[in-house]
A and B are shown apart, each in its own frame.
Chain A
């Protein structure tokens, strides 16, 4: 069937097409703004449906790349290559499903330059989906780095008071890390003679070369994830970004780092990954414990959630570099789950911010009296953030800790503190914002969720609980590919000691 052969191309570039349509929409004033909103919503919804269709068509039993498109393109190096396997397939629906939520949450909170706002978000969607869908290393870089332009503008134009500092910090951290990856990509091209990710996955880089390539990729992904101590751009960017920007940043952009670690670092540089595993464990533990402690003392709700994101990403990196099947499985699950939960939490913050225009924890209290539905939704996401069994947050944390326990019990021991601390900051936040006496006059007139906000949050509540009790849809889709990655990793690092033994 022709359509499904080009499904990835359609999903990737449909948002850009929508952006072009928006560009042609003229006029000023409320009418044009509304038209822009409806067009953006329509385009993102269609993309979301197509991405779910992709998930349905995806054959989870196969470890091969599916929906492959492959054409030569620029010179003899860069090709137009698309395809997904179990590692990447889920990130596409994650991105595409969250985009309508972003459009909806910006419906009334963005009143300035609405058309431009929708255009940059649609372009951003193309870059994000493209980064997960492409099978050409140079194109991966193009999509990965391309996200900087729209995100720079989103934070800079529609952000809060200190937006300029925040957006510069975001840009420079990401850009500096990523250009080093660019050099590593070029070195890989000359080593392997191709930029086709499928060929590169089966190419064995010499171990001493792997070390340098690994460092190049690490510079980029560690900033993107972000790993401690490269995370300092994240709280600023989150706090200053508009709600939609925070949602995308936490839910999708951070995941590109984790995806990169699995796709490139673990799969292509197994020897170096093995060699650096303890280093990554130390940084992961530092992220889990230190940023959890930092989260405890935050007075800004968004900043608190941002720090908790860093801590949760610590579990992801820990799981990935445990290198076994549970760890990688858990890391992917944790990323999907965190994508849903952190997005939902930022949406929740956006709800009260739109009403009160402050994110200070101390400005709230007793919201449950006026906003019971909001209190319920916020509770579900808080529990998922804590990792309560029965929510999606539990599965990923459990699997990653289970995996790392096999590799290094001390790492698992310290990671467990993160679970405790996350319960501390998340529940405390919930208590201070939702419970307590409703004493502030300004809060007495606050309204509960309206229909649009319910439409955004309910699906996320459902998904959070569904994946908590029934994680199979995610685990099944990824199982075969994760198995292959873990097996290759084990073979590669197993081969090295064997060779040494044979030499003796």
Chain B
């Protein structure tokens, strides 16, 4: 329909510069796949290490990328926001592969495909973050999802893992269907699939009910991916059933990518329909915060508890987006960065927990007396729990500060009051973990902690505690400019 599409804007390799990180990742993943296939022995560890190197390299390319821009006739965009979110995705992915390096065997994922699928999923996420068109959006989303369905079910002979994979696949497919349906309606009522043209098309026309309908379906599809209530049903089961390293990965990077997508679609494409989607986001936010706070109280399985915790945190992040302002998006950007760091740290702790005879620890009550047996792990975990509650001076407080600040600016007082009260309720289950670790007497001996987990825990614990002197100021500045590129 547009005449500009007749000629390609990719004239040389150099003109592909904005997409270098994705190209690097795609090529690297394929090369690794070939290498692993023709290598006689199963060297999952080596491939995983290579994957980490590749992710870090992509991160470096991303950070030193000279310029952003729009590529492939407008379907692919690299702006400040995309780069910020992609940095989080790559960092989260690299760290979650790192913390699972030593635990692959006992979790049944010591296959070289694991790392490669993770790479492909990460590639999908980066495309999601950079998508500027409903079609790239869908391609990225599906690349990510399909890789993750397989990863979740990778421990084939484990019933829970298989169930988790199947559940994830069925519900994920359903959400993709909803998303596609919404996308087709949006296309039908605006005549374009390109995100930044949709907003122009809306401006020309009066807001049609069909467009709002399409938008609702589109947002519902994405809400599945960020597991906001009422689209959260799969989360606890998948988190619990999937092998812990996979859960660690699922909880960190994909959430960021889907949230980035959510933000881009709402603020860029539907910027003029703010009042329509704002109600949806407020509902998702309140429902997620409240349900997660209460549902997690009864959980004794650590991974299930963390699943509800992640649902709750998505709710808190959405508080920022509810405002529909630049301050709000800045808040979400900060929130997601801190969330990823805390999540990786928590899972590093969880992965490091096993009894002396090698049994994995998965329930809260088994943590008794950890503070006396493994003081460092317990201290890190306690700090992260306090941070997840949102207690100052830890990083989690500053995350909540920014999103609630945005909500208050827009006079969303009810949302804010419900939000802070939900965070008070959620403190109950976080504190239970601290209580069991610190106030109860030891019941079991704990095995030694692998060195790389100690490094990750120390690093993240340090950043969470010293957030306000170390990363607080630069992160806020980065998030500020990232959010600025959308408005």
Contact = CB atoms under 8 A, between A and B. Distances in A.
Contacts of B438: 153, 156-157
Contact of B439 (A138, A141, A163, A190): A163
Interface stretch (A172-180, A277-285, A361-369, A488-496): A172-180
Interface residues on A, range: 20 to 34
A148 B404 contact: no
A152 B435 CA distance: 10
B447 interface: no
B468 interface: yes
A477 B404 CA distance: 38
A164 B435 CA distance: 8
Interface stretch (B71-79, B135-143, B195-203, B418-426): B418-426
Contacts of A3: none
Contacts of B431: 152, 168, 171
B417 A142 contact: no
B386 A179 contact: no
Chain B interface, >50% SS class = helix
Contact of B392 (A145, A176, A186): A145
Interface stretch (B232-240, B345-353, B393-401): B393-401
B435 A156 contact: yes
Interface string B427-470: 11001001100110000000000000000000000000000100
A189 interface: yes
A164 B468 CA distance: 30
Contact of B408 (A145, A175, A183): A183
A176 B421 CA distance: 7
Contacts of B389: 175
A61 interface: no
Contacts of A74: 398, 468, 472-473, 476
Nearest to A216: B417
A146 B387 CA distance: 11
B423 A179 contact: yes
A142 B435 contact: no
Interface in B356-414: 386, 389, 391-393, 397-398, 401-402, 404-405, 408-409, 413
Given A142-B392, A176-B424, A77 B397 contact: no
A75 interface: yes
Interface in B216-257: none
Contacts of B417: 180, 183
Interface in B308-327: none
Interface string A179-192: 11011001101100
The interface centre, meaning the residue of A74, A148, A153 with most chain B CB atoms within 10 A of its CB, is A74
B391 A145 contact: yes
A183 B428 contact: no
A180 B423 CA distance: 11
Contacts of A157: 438-439
B439 A175 contact: no
B264 interface: no
Given A73-B473, A157-B439, 18 more contacts: A73-B472, A74-B476, A145-B392, A146-B393, A149-B386, A152-B431, A152-B434, A153-B438, A171-B427, A175-B389, A179-B424, A182-B404, A183-B408, A183-B420, A186-B405, A186-B408, A186-B409, A190-B405
15 contacts: A73-B473, A75-B476, A143-B392, A146-B393, A156-B435, A156-B439, A157-B439, A168-B428, A168-B431, A171-B427, A172-B428, A179-B421, A183-B416, A187-B408, A189-B405
Interface of A: 73-75, 77, 138, 141-143, 145-146, 148-149, 152-153, 156-157, 163-164, 168, 171-172, 175-176, 179-180, 182-183, 186-187, 189-190
